């Protein structure tokens, strides 16, 4: 197959406001069925067999630092498998930390129909070595387009595949991906022929998990050649095995198309979904360039393109190039409500705390603080030089206060606005005999109580009364509330056990103390609560702890948050998760709905796992 070089007339520049200009196509050669991953500081792209410098590469691989400038590295599968000699199509590559290898899934043929294969490598560029036998073979084009997926909720290893006018299927695999799990069966998750357009043949499955939904991207009908008619469609489910609801069924349009041809690109499809290091989401796909002077293709090679996408109202949308929403990466987040506006603060800025604002808890702008660079509190005006953690803002005697951690001590600053600047007349921390962090101030019956963490033989949660002017801890009242003494609170059996991030609410005459346990870097970082009839305790831990965990929502490192009651009186919890499973930083800001359930003698806190979502900030 000849190498395709495409007209400059088909190049499209897209400027994203996060500072990067993307020029499509990103790879201006025949590079079909692209999969892009980010690993080891680079983006790696893989594609169906094609010529590289007049030599056939079984699986093409390219590398880039910036998504724009790509180096074609060569053949990721230089040695053919013993069971196939041609048509090495639709590669998907992932890194499996459990086996410490990159795993390549692809299809091939030796004359008896298409087969699915798996190969392994220590480096993302390969060389990948086939396992020695196909996973599955069959007549025609049914067994092509594999996509491997690790369910973030169950850690089950799944394979999706399908084409040839047959359904798209999924089946569980063994831990090393070498075979289908014994006793498992393939399940049909999407059937062709359900809609009027692009639906006679469906293929190119890709599953992306986002905020409680499994999104199934798939393409149809005809990918290639002069009769090409191809588009990307979308469906979603609450379970990776389905049932999947098509977009066209959800909106009653009977049309589930996400991406289709326009004046510049014919037959876009066979996509992958990937995220950059900041959490921005992209769709990678191939398309046939159209010459704008003739309105027709000059050839039928398929080049590689990308576009930004975002999830809106439960479905993915192709991103407008002039605006986008970026994930908020505030750890230890706190939301304060005042006079119709919500204010969001958290750990993340090096010199203090920035603040974001919203009127609906959905659409956030910022940073909007009145100090430099959107800061609400800057170290120039307050105690602390480093380690600005875990802020809380509250209103007391008609003035706004921020309690926070810096240099592993607790301080309180004040302002005339939630936007700051929060300052101290004298730069000082609160008194205490040891390092202390994570303040939360709670007012009850004309007393101010400080819940906080002292670092002594572990992170232990304490409570103490504050003086009326909030300047001193009444040390004689300080007492320990909680320590890590239950199995879920120290899953790594650490020598320094951790309980931290306290926040308190009073309900039906009881005090509820929500807290987090395990080191924040531990994937099992999670949230539980304890109750007491008095703000100073003693505290009794809930039997159903943890109430927020990776097992519940499918994200690692769920914890250290704060309660927020919205304008309508509904209760929510804002917290952080790891950036992604396997990578802690930067931690992402998340949000979930809570309520008190009064079915028994003691009201319990119920968490609505389906309400889980990440918070984003709009950028223009």
Integer distance in angstroms from the first to the last C-alpha of the chain? 43
d(CA 72, CA 68) in angstroms, rounded, equals 12
Alpha helix (H) residue ranges in 502-586? 550-553
**Cα(421)–Cα(351) distance, rounded to whole angstroms?**
13
Neighbour-count burial of 194, counting CB atoms closer than 10 A to its CB (0-12 exposed, 13-18 middle, 19+ buried): middle
Q: Calculate the alpha carbon distances from 415 to 337, 344, 418, 420 in Å.
A: 15, 16, 7, 5
| Cβ burial 472-502 (10 Å sphere, 16+ → b, else e) | ebeeeebeebbbbeeeebbeeeeeebbbbbb
Name the helix (H) or strand (E) containing 131: none
Find tokens 């196909």 and name the residue.
134
C-alpha span between 418 and 415 (Å, rounded): 7
Give the active site residue among 30, 33, 519, 556.
Answer: 33
Q: Is 195 a catalytic residue?
A: no
What's the CA gap between 269 and 219, in Å, rounded?
Answer: 6
What separation in angstroms does the CA of 268 have from each of 162, 205, 315, 512? Answer: 18, 14, 19, 53
Distance from C-alpha of 318 to C-alpha of 295, rounded to nearest angstrom:
24
Q: In which order are the strands placed within the sheet that holds 356-358?
A: 331-338, 341-347, 356-358
Which residue, among 434, 388, 380, 444, has the nearest Cα to 411 in the 3D structure? 388
Helix (H) or strand (E) holding 300: none
Active-site hit among 203, 221, 519, 524: 203
Q: Which two tokens stand for residue 472?
A: 């001193």
481, containing H or E segment: strand 479-482
Tokens describing residue 148: 């491997």
Active site annotation includes 33:
yes
Supply the residues annotated as catalytic: 33, 203
């Amino acid at each position: 197959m000849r190498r395709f070089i495409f007209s400059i007339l088909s190049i499209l520049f897209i400027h994203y406001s996060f500072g990067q200009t993307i020029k499509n196509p990103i790879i201006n050669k025949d590079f079909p069925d692209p999969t892009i991953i980010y690993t080891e500081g680079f983006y790696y792209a893989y594609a169906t067999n094609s010529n590289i410098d007049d030599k056939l590469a079984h699986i093409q691989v390219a590398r880039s630092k910036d998504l724009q400038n790509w180096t074609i590295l060569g053949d990721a599968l230089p040695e053919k498998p013993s069971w196939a000699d041609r048509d090495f199509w639709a590669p998907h590559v992932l890194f499996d930390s459990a086996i410490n290898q990159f795993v390549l899934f692809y299809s091939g043929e030796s004359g008896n129909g298409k087969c699915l294969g798996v190969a392994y490598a220590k480096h993302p560029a390969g060389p990948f070595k086939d396992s020695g036998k196909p996973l599955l073979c069959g007549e025609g084009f049914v067994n092509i387009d594999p996509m491997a997926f690790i369910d973030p909720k169950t850690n089950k290893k799944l394979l999706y595949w399908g084409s040839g006018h047959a359904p798209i299927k999924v089946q569980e695999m063994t831990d090393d991906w070498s075979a289908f799990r014994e006793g498992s069966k393939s399940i049909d998750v999407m059937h062709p022929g359900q809609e009027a357009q692009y639906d006679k043949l469906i293929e190119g499955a890709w599953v992306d998990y986002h905020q409680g939904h499994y999104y199934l991207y798939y393409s149809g009908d005809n990918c290639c050649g002069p009769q090409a008619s191809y588009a990307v469609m979308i469906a979603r489910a609450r379970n990776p095995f389905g049932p999947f609801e098509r977009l066209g069924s959800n909106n009653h349009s009977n049309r589930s198309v996400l991406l289709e041809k326009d004046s510049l690109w014919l037959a876009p499809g066979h996509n992958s979904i990937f995220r950059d290091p900041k959490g921005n989401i992209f769709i990678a796909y191939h398309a046939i360039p159209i010459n704008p002077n003739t309105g027709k293709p000059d050839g039928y090679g398929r080049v590689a393109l990308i576009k930004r996408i975002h999830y809106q109202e439960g479905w993915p949308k192709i991103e407008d190039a002039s605006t986008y929403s970026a994930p908020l990466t505030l750890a230890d987040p706190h939301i304060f409500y005042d006079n119709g506006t919500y204010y969001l603060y958290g750990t993340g800025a090096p010199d203090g705390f920035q603040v974001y604002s919203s009127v609906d808890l959905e659409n956030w702008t910022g940073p909007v603080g009145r100090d430099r660079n959107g800061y609400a509190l800057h170290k120039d005006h307050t105690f602390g030089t480093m380690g600005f953690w875990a802020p809380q803002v509250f209103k007391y005697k008609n003035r706004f206060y921020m309690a926070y951690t810096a240099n592993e001590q607790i301080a309180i600053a004040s302002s005339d606005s939630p936007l700051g600047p929060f300052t101290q007349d004298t730069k000082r921390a609160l008194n205490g005999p040891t390092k202390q962090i994570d303040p939360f101030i709670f007012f009850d019956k004309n007393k101010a109580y400080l819940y906080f963490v002292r670092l002594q033989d572990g992170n232990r949660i304490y409570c103490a009364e504050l003086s009326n002017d909030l300047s001193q801890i009444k040390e004689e009242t300080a007492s320990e509330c909680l320590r890590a003494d239950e199995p879920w609170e120290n899953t790594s059996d650490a020598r320094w056990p951790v309980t931290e991030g306290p926040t308190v609410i009073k309900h039906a005459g009881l005090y509820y103390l929500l807290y987090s346990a395990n080191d924040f870097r531990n994937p099992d970082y999670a949230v539980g609560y304890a109750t007491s009839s008095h703000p100073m305790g003693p505290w009794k831990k809930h039997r159903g702890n943890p109430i927020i965990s990776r097992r519940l929502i499918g994200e690692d490192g769920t914890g250290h948050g704060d309660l927020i009651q919205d304008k309508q009186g509904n209760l929510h919890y804002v917290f952080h998760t790891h950036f992604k499973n396997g990578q802690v930083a930067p931690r992402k800001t998340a949000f979930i709905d809570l309520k008190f359930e009064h079915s028994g003698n003691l009201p319990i806190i119920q968490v609505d796992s389906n309400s889980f979502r990440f918070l984003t900030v709009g950028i223009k």
